[in-house]
Chain A
């Protein structure tokens, strides 16, 4: 098969439409003391999936509210147990947190699998075939090793996580290969180190200027004032750099994820840009703050639309040659634990 045709991803939803769904979800969740949140999640997912089109066909979300509700109840029980325990005895809380850490690979794999198995395109489900053993290396061992290696293995860890998710994703029967290497990730993190050096350089230059000033016989007060303003400018550069670096890493990681993944006869082209993400994040943040949260649905739609715009597939002339794999559906517990404990697994 040839890589004959480009299929851009499209997002067709509007903020106003989602606002109504969003606010009704919140109201009903409050009225039902949280029970409705399972239906709210399913409805939200269905709306976003149903508005994400590829080759004129939408994605479909298959999880049922009852599945989500069960998973949520178990996860909420764990969360309450954890908080009560830390509250009454930090030791017991620590033990529970340690258990959760040990269970993390299981949670990660189950979460990815549940989400994949309940996502479908053209009537075929996705699947995730990652093993708990590899998840333990990628999400437990490597993060622990960050400490003795003073963060030097960070690019390698990012690479392994991307590879773990990409190479274990399956659509129907079609598996995915990940062909990227660790080099590109080293580049991303080297760039962020360089960007981080900027505030350091600002402070260094300031101190150099100050010693010059002192050598030329300026007063002590002037020197102290200079130190104050140098540190101030340094801090500001630092806080400006943080979102820039976050957006840069996020955009490039997504691009590396898709651009080196090959699913059967299909390749991907992702072209997110850090500057676009920074603009979207910052302007969303400002508008959400100004509107006391009302803008949230529009913000989420904007981000979804940008992500869709920046992703396209290269594939055969027709996308109807994929066939189904064997499937069971699995439980939502892992996914909901990951959700409630705010464990960030996916890419974005």
Chain B
């Protein structure tokens, strides 16, 4: 038997009636000065109490019982199945130490979700995506890059063709993902190479002129092939979208603060994700170079020429590439190719 006092509102006027409520054997009976009635429990809806906030019992016809007796209301809400999810919440909220456990759990889940969950889902999504869509996406971003940063290559046509031929020859013996090699001039990007969704690889003139050996260019292209093989640019885009959704889902109700709060973590995440991918592409390049009998140190040589500080080591948090010194280490110590 549950007893509590409440204010009764009939749903017709704003007048409050002080009443005593008794719940017993499937019946809720209300007793006040000018009114007395009984209502079967099946017809009521109980809002499980949230903290010490005033609780509400909804009666048929829009009538309400308001009560501060959260113990009685909790007891009453246990008798209604619809309030079950909130009973678990109510239990966890009841003690500060459960709340602290919930906090730790949230932090862990959030971390795991961002670190492993989002990339895993993005990978599945990238695989499920029709290649036509991916190709169109690549085409569009290539068009944007062309307009903003790229101009036609000024390298001699023979040099371009020679590099393309060498790559094609290696790809006859080695497994390469489908690719399209482009040479472009881009003072803005310096010595650089990048891969786009759908298989386009862009190599800047500066990178080719900085290379002292054709195999150095091939080594960088091998790294980009690794990006294409892993569909990295697509996955990266999907991942940052996914991480954004996750962060907004958590911070969504914070209102004013969410924009500020979401900015920094997503920046850090973005660089974390791309670091994973650089490592993956490096691994691919290393295997590919070994298979092609190109000394792996060609990659390291060119990288060091682009960024002479690389040997000094030290990784910075916000750079997309893993600490350069650590990164080129495997290329310097790699064994020669198995056939030689």
Contacts and interface: CB of A to CB of B under 8 A. Distances in A.
Contacts of A122: 9, 14-16
A30 B237 contact: no
B250 interface: yes
Given A13-B53, A27-B103, A123-B14, A288 B136 contact: no
Contact of A58 (B54, B92, B106, B253): B54
Contacts of B55: 50
B53 A24 contact: no
Nearest to A123: B9
Interface stretch (B82-90, B181-189, B286-294): B82-90
B272 interface: no
Nearest to A79: B245
B96 A20 contact: yes
Interface string A1-19: 0000000000011001111
A17 B95 CA distance: 10
B120 interface: no
Interface residues of A, number: 67
A323 B12 contact: yes
A238 B189 CA distance: 33
B229 interface: no
Interface string B75-114: 0000000000110110011001011001101100110010
A43 B89 contact: yes
Given A47-B51, A324-B11, A30 B66 contact: no
Contacts of A324: 11-13, 62
A86 to B, nearest CB: 10
Contacts of A332: none
Interface string A134-178: 000000000000000000000000000000000000001000000
Contact of A30 (B10, B62, B110): B110
A29 B106 CA distance: 9
Nearest to A19: B99
Interface in A23-38: 23-31, 34, 36-37
B89 A24 contact: yes
Contacts of B249: 29, 34, 37
Contacts, number: 162
Contacts of A65: 85
Contact of A41 (B58, B92, B96, B253): B253
Given A47-B53, A57-B66, A281 B93 contact: no
B102 A27 contact: yes
Contacts of B38: none
Nearest to A322: B14
Given A29-B250, A36-B85, A87-B241, A23 B14 contact: no
B333 interface: no
Interface residues of B, number: 55
A294 B89 CA distance: 19
B47 interface: yes
A23 B92 CA distance: 10
Given A43-B89, A323-B13, A324-B11, A23 B103 contact: yes
Contacts of B47: 46, 60
A123 B61 CA distance: 11
B14 A172 contact: yes
A323 B14 contact: yes
Interface string B1-29: 00000010111111110000000000000
A21 B51 contact: yes
Contacts of B109: 27, 30-31
B254 interface: yes
A44 interface: yes
Interface stretch (B155-163, B212-220, B256-264): B256-264
9 contacts: A24-B93, A24-B98, A31-B105, A39-B86, A123-B11, A124-B9, A299-B257, A323-B12, A324-B11
Given A13-B53, A39-B89, A46-B50, 14 more contacts: A20-B99, A27-B103, A28-B88, A30-B113, A31-B105, A39-B86, A50-B50, A50-B55, A50-B56, A51-B51, A58-B53, A58-B54, A124-B13, A288-B261
